[in-house]
Structure 1
């Protein structure tokens, strides 16, 4: 019985460890996209190879979205590391 309870806690921790950082990344990138659109008057470029997307737009969007998404994932993982069991 004790092993089953520990396994279920581990499975919940593993699921949260995968889902929450991805969700945090998605939410932050969506917010960054809205900010980019408000600032530039255009939606963020989805594909930098699309005709009409300048190098500057592609570079700025990639840098901003990547940095903010990375920080959001790291913060979610850090918060989870304090709350959830990590040993199996």
Structure 2
């Protein structure tokens, strides 16, 4: 499972810090995934969810990622303290 941190955009509080294959967003958030861009195989929209698949066979489902506001949520990849925004 991937190490995932969900941070509130409004308050900058950490909402979740877990190893998981699924998170549900309930407010505007930044989802930090501890992996490299090179490890990302695909990222696709399914309904309002973002499904990220990695080359090492993992999958992360981010529920409620997409909304009417395209700037509501972001995904950031973190590798060795380097941050990399995953573009929509």
Task: Give yes or no for TM over 0.5.
Answer: no
Which is higher, the Rg of structure 1 or of structure 2?
1
Q: Which of the pair has the greater relative contact order for Cα pairs under 8 Å at 6+ separation?
A: 1
- TM-score of the aligned structures, taking structure 1 as reference length: 0.20
- TM-score of the aligned structures, taking structure 2 as reference length: 0.20
Structure whose residues are more often strand by fraction:
2
Structure whose residues are more often helix by fraction:
1
